Amino acid sequence: MLLLRPHLLPRSVVRQLSRRHVSSNLAPLVRGGRKSNTGSSLIPISNSKCWNRKLATAGAGNVRLADSATTAAVIGDDTPAPYEPPTTGILSYLPAKVVPYAELIRLEKPYGGLYLFYPCVWSTLMAATMATPIAPPIAAASTILLFGSGAFVMRSAGCTINDFWDRKFDKHVSRTRHRPIARGAVSPTQAFWFAGAQCMAGFGILLQFPVEAILAGIPSILLVIAYPLAKRVTHYPQFVLGLAFSWGALLGFPAMGVSLVDGSMALAAAGCLYGANVFWTVLYDIIYAHQDLRDDAKAGVKGIVVRHPEITKPIMSALNVLQVGLLAGAGYFAGLGPIYYAWSVFGAGAANSWMIWRANLKDEKECWQWFKWNSWMVGGLMVGGGLTAEYLLDYYERDLSNGTTQIEKDSVVLAA
């Protein structure tokens, strides 16, 4: 008997074998198993372009696989592993009928929501500092909480819309083939109505803001819808994603009563902050996209990483410079002090540079870890932390100054 050990054969040979058999006949082909001399599904076809002409003409009963684990590996090249319901994490506690919808909105992966939330926080804190009189902490905190709920709902809607448009592509990408729409757990019609309900919920949250913020927020839904379509027509859809994910950088100003229509300095600060977040979005999405580089190229999905796979680190470095420059410009127009420049501007640039230098873009798991790290380090700790410190220091300095002025006025009245 001729014994084949696929793990010792070239990959092309293994693939040749996997294409020449019927999966239903694989059960008996385990270590030590026997198969009859007729009907073997693993016989190389002699008239094909086989790797070995002698082996191609071997008898039907002389070929078997010696390793069941290797057999599974062979089949795995062309047949994806079946979907398995979640057994750990928050999804494992949900009813079975709810799980597909929870997976659809990425309930177990909050980082996309955080990336949408951060520009709202940045603009709220910056606008609170620019407000006259300076906004009290309770007003800033309540506005941030309202933005948080809106970011969660709209990020969920964005995921649903993205998966609706990408349902055919997702079937061919290993990381996404088990998404609810792609695997058929949620139908396109159900996803359509689910996305509509989410958008209505997001609009309900938007109505809690001042009129100028409401009018400024409505156009963002067009960008949310446009991003999945952009992946079909341009190699730079990340910029469309950046325009959508950065919209919160504009909304914090009117939400805190700082008009973008009347104040040129506020408009300039908001514009710089918005641009900084656009470039940051493109930067971190490049890291994210490296997880799917091979599958995206095969499926025909366009993107910066697919277009420029060998120079993505120089591109990320340029984006980092642009982000840092625009963050500095936003601080200048907002009249912020040295804490912001040392903490937020320099800190964000240093953190991004560290990630770009250390990240192994060929390792999918490492790309995911850096994507998560960049979220809380740059968005939360650096830019968000610096803006928080700047705002609180400014608030208490003004409060102390106002208190001193009031005491002086009271003293003058008493003396008179």
Q: What is the pLDDT of residue 168?
A: 87
Q: Within 10 A of 200 (CB to CB), how many other CB atoms are there?
A: 11
What is the DSSP secondary-structure string of 3-54? EE-GGGS-HHHHHHHHTTS-GGG-TT-STT----SSS-TTPPPTTS--S-HH
- Provide, rounded to the nearest whole percent, the portion of the chain with pLDDT above 70: 77
Nearest to 273 by CA among 118, 119, 117, 394: 119
pTM: 0.76
Q: Tell me: do 174 and 66 sit in the same domain.
A: no
Domain of residue 29: give its range. 2-76
If asked whether residues 127 and 190 sit together in one domain, one would say yes
Bridge partner list, 54: none
- Same domain? For 57 and 144 the reply is no
Type and span of the H or E element at 69? helix 68-76
* Position 182 pLDDT exceeds 70: yes
Q: Are residues 28 and 135 in the same domain?
A: no
46 part of a folded domain: yes
Lowest mean pLDDT among 48-52, 175-179, 208-212, 216-220: 48-52
Does residue 381 register a pLDDT over 90?
Answer: yes
Residues 41 and 112 in one domain: no
Question: Is residue 85 domain-resident?
Answer: no
How high is the pLDDT of residue 296? 82
Most confident of 152-166, 300-314, 373-387: 373-387
* Total tally of structural domains belonging to the chain: 2
Whether residue 121 sits in one domain with residue 71: no
Supply the CATH number for residue 379's domain.
Answer: 1.10.357.140
Find the angle CA(158)-CA(141)-CA(105) to the nearest 5 degrees: 20
Report yes or no on 214 lying in a domain: yes
Instruction: Identify whether 411 is part of a domain.
Output: no
Q: Which of 40-44, 152-156, 309-313, 371-375 has the lowest mean pLDDT?
A: 40-44
Give the C-alpha separation, 273 to 290, whole Å.
26
Mean pLDDT, residues 166-189: 91
How far is the C-alpha of 78 from the C-alpha of 15, rounded, in Å?
9
23 or 174, greater pLDDT: 174
414 pLDDT band, cuts 50/70/90, is: low
For residues 153-180, average pLDDT:
90
- Give the separation between CA 156 and CA 153, rounded to whole angstroms: 5
Report the pLDDT value the prediction gives residue 405, as an integer from 0 to 100. Answer: 53
Q: Are residues 154 and 198 in the same domain?
A: yes
Residues 22-56: b if buried by 16+ CB within 10 A, e if exposed: eeeebeebeeeeebeeeebebbbeeeeebeeeebb
Query: Is 70 exceeded by the pLDDT of residue 28?
Result: no
The answer to whether residue 337 sits within a structural domain is: yes
Q: What tokens appear for 395 in the block? A: 């608030």
Tell me which of 162-166, 271-275, 409-413 is least confident. Answer: 409-413
At 404, is the pLDDT very low, low, confident or very high (cuts 50, 70, 90)?
A: low
pLDDT in the model for residue 395: 94
Q: Is residue 12 over pLDDT 60? A: no
Tokens 């059960």: give the residue.
27
Q: How many angstroms separate the Cα of 375 from the Cα of each of 19, 44, 235?
A: 43, 51, 24
- Tell which residue, 292, 301, 304, has the closest CA to residue 175: 292
| Confidence band of 277 (pLDDT split at 50, 70, 90) | very high
Choose between 415 and 36: higher pLDDT: 415
Within a domain: residue 413?
no
Per the model's pLDDT, the better-predicted residue between 151 and 31 turns out to be 151
The region of weakest confidence among 16-25, 143-152, 155-164, 209-218 is 16-25
Q: Based on the domain organization, do 331 and 362 belong to the same domain?
A: yes
Section 91-103 average pLDDT: 95
pLDDT band at 77 (very low <50, low <70, confident <90, very high): very low
My answer on whether 231 and 317 are in the same domain is yes
The string of pLDDT tens digits covering residues 98-127 is 999 999 999 999 999 999 999 999 999 999
pLDDT value at 23 more than 90: no
In a domain, 89, yes or no: no
Q: Identify whether residues 247 and 367 lie together within a single domain.
A: yes
Higher pLDDT, 60 or 335: 335
Residue 41: per-residue pLDDT? 41
Average pLDDT over residues 277-287: 97
- Whether 88 maps to a domain, the answer reads no
Q: pLDDT-based confidence at 294, cuts 50/70/90? A: confident
Q: Are residues 59 and 117 in the same domain?
A: no
Residue 132 has pLDDT above 50, yes or no: yes
Q: Are residues 366 and 297 in the same domain?
A: yes
Mean pLDDT check: name the lowest of 27-31, 33-37, 70-74.
Answer: 70-74
